[in-house]
Structure 1
Amino acid sequence: MASASAAPPSQHVPVLWAPVLDGLAVKPAGTYLDGTFGRGGHARGVLAQLGPEGRLLVMDKDPEAIRVANALAADDARVRVRQASFATLGEWPEAAGGLDGVLFDLGVSSPQLDEAARGFSFRNDGPLDMRMDPTQGMSAAEFVNTADEAEIARVLWVHGEERQSRRIAKAIVARRAERVFERTGDLADVIAKLLGRGDGKTHPATRSFQAIRIHVNAELDDLVAGLEAAERALKVGGRLAVISFHSLEDRIAKQFINERAKAPPSNRRAVVEVAFTPRLRDVSGAIKADEAELAANPRARSAVLRVAEKLAVPGAAA
């Protein structure tokens, strides 16, 4: 049985691999859910620590990720697979018996970024899609070609924290009146021409692409729903591990844990003080990649891991 200090799978380098496995504190007979299977790096780490009675439940929106997960399940009877957002984990009967650990590795995966046909990256020109599941919902092209200027600006500001959101939205609407957007490179060029190339370290379209991707995949709404579903599904003593890659995601995860782990500031004006009962224990605070991991995997630089443990609440079902 592998330990968390063992080397990660060679075919894919999962971010914060050892800290995730340490945080989950895998029990050999436990049931664990990986809500973002990707190519299975973290999942295989959990599986290596499970005994014959253990179970690994994996979810993902991405059909290619599910193909890889099904191949894993075909070779290992301990694995169960469901193609869906982790926001719906509470609807999966396999998870109804209670979970000993839940992992969310948020954002877009390296294979998705590297495959131009998925349309996630402006660095590799491809169809302007960006959907985790290409068969569901509105594509990025549909959004930028049909949404009104105010809605585009709102999405860029709220989901991308893009200060030039209004200027970019105006430029998008003006350009699509001449010719609709179909390619990632086309949208990136319009934004770059408007904003300039800056210092060259960060492409000027970075925040806009992030914002549009988050919007078309409903990522932040899914995260809120997924965290609540995970808390309900976890057994007492079960662990929740969340890897975030930008401040919006991390803020949601941090607030979710803090609200359940720490008493709110006292309100002197309150007639009756409401007693606070913690439902989670903050196990780790913010964990980031060390220098060795950053040297091997520069994409880990923005990753933040938070781990919480579910506590027993008097009068509540375990």
Structure 2
Amino acid sequence: MSSILIIEQILNGLQFGVMLFLMAAGLTLIFGVMGLINLAHGSLYMIGAFAAAAVAGVTGSFLLALIAALAAAALAGAIVEMVVIRRLYSAPHLDQVLATFALILIFSEGTRWLFGSFPLFLDIPDALSGPVTLPGGIEYPFYRLTLIGIGLAVAVGLWALIERTRLGIQIRAGENDREMIAALGVDISKLYTLVFALGAALAGLAGALVGAIQSVQVGMGEPVLILAFVVIVIGGIGSVRGALIGALLVGLTDTLGGVFLPELFKLFMENGAAQKTGSALASMGIYVLMGLVLIWRPTGLFGARA
């Protein structure tokens, strides 16, 4: 197996990982600050993708499509928080799960009603299309490299927001003691709405960016949501740094396992059986990774120790 293929698959894993980070970062903020299990986070990813595809189809501008995705997902998140989620903060987790599952059904049917059941397609902009030559003569899609750069830039910006700004101080304080910051004069309701909208915007951005390399369709957010939960369990609930490291580990494990395990099993069995067995084990790989991390550190890599 060539070194060029290995490097290409590592880059694919990084690209997948940073997109998972955009989902997981919003999810871990919402869960860490509010203590809320939000199963509808994948629907916000879908809303961002559909908003981007619709605006790009009308205007032809990929930049306007990204802005529309951020705005639509953030607005949907803010409305959901004020109308539904605000009533669930003190409710048992089962009530949160049932309510946010109902939101999945509402968003899915509403999107199908607006856009139909057929997938939409979002074209890669001309400026980002085509391959770029990396050191060693490796040709890799420029758009995928751009996704890696955007994801890492968002990670740095989110870290700076949380660690270096007044809003970040309030978010971290709200995670630790919401009653105290409310007593100090912070409007906890506005803070929660802002955090929820920020998390939704990150999910919408991920949906729009990924929508250019796969079809945009109803229900596209749920498989990604499952992986995002795996990411925050590995990284540690409430930790943005943990979300980034966990997302990269999951992305690399899933991508490299899907490519190299079938090749390994070809040494012992026929091509068809090797492909099936290797793909099945690769799908299990991320959950094996999660189990190993939890055995070593039950709160995740960067979660607070009990």
Could you say which structure has the higher strand fraction?
1
Which TM-score band (shorter chain)?
under 0.3
TM-score normalized with structure 1 length: 0.25
Higher relative contact order (CA 8 A, sep 6+): 2
